[in-house]
Amino acid sequence: MTWEYALIGLIVGFIIGALVVRFCNTKLRNQQALQAQLEKKNHELEEYRKELVSHFARSAELLDNMAQDYRQLYQHMAKSSHELMPDMPPIQNNPFNYRLTESESDNDQAPVNLPPKDYSEGSSGLFR
């Protein structure tokens, strides 16, 4: 009978010891607190990224609208200057002598076939 009591006492002692270590361990509490803080920061970072994407999308839209408005203003001024000052002999005196055509005003993209400005035509001999 003493064997049985000793074995039950040993098992209960291990369980109580494991529970005490689990709930009294400061490293485990610190790890859990750091894990919660990490998850919170990751959530904040994801929200910030979403705000950043929406900000730049709205900024691009506003800049596009502004470019269209300036283009329309320039076309209006060029048309008005040609109508109001039709007989100016030197075309250089008219500040709006360059007039955008409709195809130029609709195409805001750079030509695709041009290489970038820092592009070298041939091999420079650097990596031989």
18-71 residue pLDDT tens = 888 777 777 878 888 999 999 999 999 999 999 999 999 999 999 999 999 999
The CA distance from 85 to 97, in Å, is 11
Any domain includes 97: no
Q: Is residue 109 part of a domain?
A: no
Examine residue 73 and state whether it is found in any structural domain, yes or no. yes
Q: Which helix (H) or strand (E) holds 125?
A: none
Q: How far is residue 109 from each of residues 83, 112, 114, 115, measured CA to CA in Å? A: 30, 8, 12, 14
How many domains in the chain? 1
* 99-to-20, 26, 66, 74, 85 alpha-carbon distances in Å: 84, 75, 18, 8, 15
DSSP string, 89-111: SSGGGSTT-S---HHHHH--SPP
- Of 6-15, 48-57, 89-98, 107-116, highest mean pLDDT: 48-57
- Distance (Å) of CA 66 to CA 72, 74, 109: 10, 12, 16
Res 99: pLDDT: 54
Task: Establish if 39 belongs to a structural domain.
Answer: yes
Residue 103 has pLDDT above 50, yes or no: no
Q: Has residue 61 been placed in a domain?
A: yes
Q: Is residue 68 part of a domain?
A: yes
Give the pLDDT of residue 91: 55
Range(s) of the domain holding residue 45: 7-83
Per the domain annotation, does 21 fall within a domain?
Answer: yes
Contact 82, 96 (CB under 8 A): yes
In a domain, 110, yes or no: no
CA distance 96 to 79: 8
pTM over 0.85: no
